[in-house]
């Protein structure tokens, strides 16, 4: 069976993982998370495209691209989760399964983080499990792909 592609997109400041607020985000680097995701995707028979940007427009372009090149999307939009109507609209416009991911529990943090512009237009949400959430999101994406009638 052909492997499906899952896009894992990361938003602003996630390139600083490992040094930025380790008490909140842990000590893992984005590179180590990518490696963990590659290993998990391989075990699931999937391929990943793993990217990070600090630019909102680039993230939106990648969401559009995922709709035609991937079977599912895992998105850690970071701060854009709480502020970006444009990202909300881009996610609403695509048809593949979409999983919102946060390393920390956004509902246990500052009040401004409690509302996500992304949550209303995604298939599901994983938050608060640290970097293990990436593996959880991959597992969920693989299950959604299995259930989906669309084959890419």
pLDDT tens profile 12-40: 999 988 887 666 666 789 999 999 999 99
Residue 1 — very low, low, confident or very high, per pLDDT cuts 50/70/90? very low
Tell whether the model's pLDDT for residue 50 goes beyond 60: yes
Instruction: Give the list of residues 6+ apart from residue 6 with CB closer than 8 angstroms, or none.
Output: 41, 46, 47, 48, 49, 70, 71, 72, 73, 74, 138, 141, 142, 145
Pick 148 or 5 by higher pLDDT: 5
- Residue 100's SS3 state is strand
Q: What is the mean pLDDT of the chain?
A: 91
Contact assessment for residue 123 and residue 97, using Cβ atoms and an 8 Å cutoff: yes
pTM for the model: 0.91
The one catalytic residue among 7, 80, 88, 102: 102
Report all structural domains of the chain as residue ranges with CATH numbers, in order of start.
4-147 (3.40.50.9100)
* Nearest partner of 76 among 139, 138, 145, judged by Cα: 138
25 has catalytic annotation: yes
Residue 151 — very low, low, confident or very high, per pLDDT cuts 50/70/90? low
pLDDT at 148: 81
Quote the percentage of the chain above a pLDDT of 90: 74
Residue 46 — very low, low, confident or very high, per pLDDT cuts 50/70/90? very high
pLDDT at 150: 63
- Dump pLDDT digits (tens) for 115-141: 899 999 999 999 999 999 999 999 999
The one catalytic residue among 7, 25, 80, 134: 25
Of 38-47, 102-111, 121-130, 140-149, the range with the lowest mean pLDDT is: 102-111
102 has catalytic annotation: yes
pLDDT at 113: 66
């Amino acid at each position: 069976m052909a492997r499906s592609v899952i896009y894992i997109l990361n938003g602003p400041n996630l390139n600083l993982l490992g040094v930025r607020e380790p008490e909140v985000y842990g000590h893992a680097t984005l590179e180590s998370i990518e490696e963990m995701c590659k290993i998990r995707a391989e075990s699931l028979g999937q391929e990943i495209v793993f990217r990070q940007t600090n630019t909102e427009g680039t993230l939106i372009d990648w969401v559009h691209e995922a709709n035609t090149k991937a079977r599912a999307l895992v998105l850690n939009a970071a701060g854009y989760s709480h502020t970006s109507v444009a990202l909300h609209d881009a996610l609403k416009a695509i048809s593949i399964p979409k999983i919102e991911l946060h390393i920390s529990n956004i509902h246990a943090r500052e009040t401004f983080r409690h509302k996500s512009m992304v949550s209303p237009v995604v298939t599901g949400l994983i938050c608060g499990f640290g970097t293990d959430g990436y593996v959880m999101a991959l597992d969920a994406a693989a299950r959604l792909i299995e259930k989906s009638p669309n084959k890419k």
